[in-house]
Amino acid sequence: MKLVTAIIKPFKLDDVREALSDIGVQGITVTEVKGFGRQKGHTELYRGAEYVVDFLPKVKLEIGIDDGLLEQVIEAITKSASTGKIGDGKIFVCELEQAIRIRTAETGVEAL
């Protein structure tokens, strides 16, 4: 099993969610995060005091999937989250050692 973590632009969340549903992903966890990569921040002005805000709001998705689905998931996220402009985000893939459904105690791929 794999744990796929994707950092995307917040307004792309709905598109990504739809794309993942279309390929059969049944669960996602979403967190609001801040971050930066190569995208520069913006300035804010308050009574003559200018601040450079480096951290930009992003959305993080975490998805547990079966190994077989990995390529499709990566393609779905990449296509739906992309705007072509700097700051589109990143996808990280980790090995997922175990998954358990709390209600039924199912483990492994059945729990995803």
Q: Token pair of 15, please?
A: 């598109």
Beta bridge partners of 46: 49
Q: How far is the CB of 62 from another protein (least distance, A)?
A: 22
Closest to 73 measured CA to CA, from 9, 3, 23, 14: 23
Window 61 to 90, contacts with another protein (CB under 8 A): none
12 with 19: CB under 8 angstroms? no
- Which one of 11, 38, 50, 98 is in contact with another protein (CB under 8 A)? 50
For residue 53, state whether it binds another protein (rule: CB under 8 A).
Answer: yes
Q: How far is the CB of 5 from another protein (least distance, A)?
A: 24
10 with 57: CB under 8 angstroms? yes
Q: Token pair of 4, please?
A: 């796929």
For residue 55, state whether it binds another protein (rule: CB under 8 A).
Answer: no
Q: How far is the CB of 48 from another protein (least distance, A)?
A: 3
For residue 51, state whether it binds another protein (rule: CB under 8 A).
Answer: yes
